[in-house]
Structure 1
């Protein structure tokens, strides 16, 4: 993986872990007014989206349970969750393990052309850049939610 891309993933992962390190259980499950989801959901969503973008979840990877798509995929929401949702700590651990797997992606993979464009990305590298941007976007949302919750 290019040094620049790895630096971006390291930066977004560190920022996400920093944002969630002091969040209380109550804050994790509270959906502030004006927001569509909870901090807990955002953690799982980043994990699931990265797995989709970079590892072909759910068809091509066995690192996450398939039902994560129902819990954290686009359009999902905590109010529809069953009782047995993975904890935020479990999700954070899975994100850390995922980053290790991201670092193992061979550099030549990033030049591969995608079979079809995904959200404008033509190559796997462009898709990886989109995943890093997506993660950073959700870090910002978590930061904003924390500010609203701590007023």
Structure 2
């Protein structure tokens, strides 16, 4: 596994997320257009939580999850069901930005390392730290497309 390429791919996806996050404000972050299950804020929080919950957790590292984040942003949650105040867009962007270096520092030299309990998603079975990171880059790219679509539906600039 080419470590540089895996880290570059992760950073490329994250830089794209941060780029498409431009124009998201507190005023438009929680609007849910017809046909969409969640908001722009949820998309950003979900991307962050997915990396912590998949890459860090399954690699037996301690995830950096502020209190309540799993309840707000894990798969299957909906903005309309929130009972707690969500983090600000600035907080989410800061966490997303900082996560890149944490991933690189934590997993440098470890991408071939086998994880104790493989992560399965449908027919996909991930067994190493690098495979987890590769999957979350793919996952993040899916959400980048959703963010772009949501911004288009909301007529958000940038």
TM over 0.5: yes
Deviations 1:105-142, CA, capped at 9 Å, x for gaps: 34332111222321221222111100111111111110
Is 1:2 the counterpart of 2:3? The answer is: yes
Provide the C-alpha distance between the structure 2 equivalents of 1:110 and 1:48, rounded to a whole number of angstroms: 20
Runs of 4+ in 1 over 4 A off after TM superposition: none
Aligned residues between the structures:
150
Any idea what SS the aligned residue of 1:117 has?
strand
More helix as a share of residues = 1
Shift of 1:62: 5.5
- Separation of aligned partners in 1, 2:148 and 2:100: 21
Q: Counterparts of 1:136 and 1:62 in 2: how far apart (Å)?
A: 21
Cα distance in 1 for partners of 2:19, 2:100 equals 15
SS at match of 1:115: strand
Unaligned runs of 5+ in 1: none
Partner of 1:116: 117
| Comparing 110-119 and 40-49, the one that deviates more | 110-119
User: Is 1:135 the equivalent of 2:132?
Assistant: no
Structure 2: segments with no counterpart, 5+ residues: none
Question: Is structure 2 residue 48 aligned with structure 1 residue 43?
Answer: no
RMSD: 2.0
Q: Which residue of structure 2 aligns with residue 96 of structure 1?
A: 97
Structure 1: how far apart are the matches of 2:116 and 2:132? 12
In the TM superposition, what whole-angstrom CA distance separates every residue of 1:66-125 from its partner, at most 9, and x where no partner exists? 421101001111112234211111011011111110111343321112223212212221
Taking a change above 3 Å as real, the CA distance of residues 40 and 56 of structure 1, as seen in their structure-2 partners, is same
Deviating more after overlay: 69-78 vs 16-25: 16-25
Q: Distance in 2 between matches of 1:106 and 1:80?
A: 35
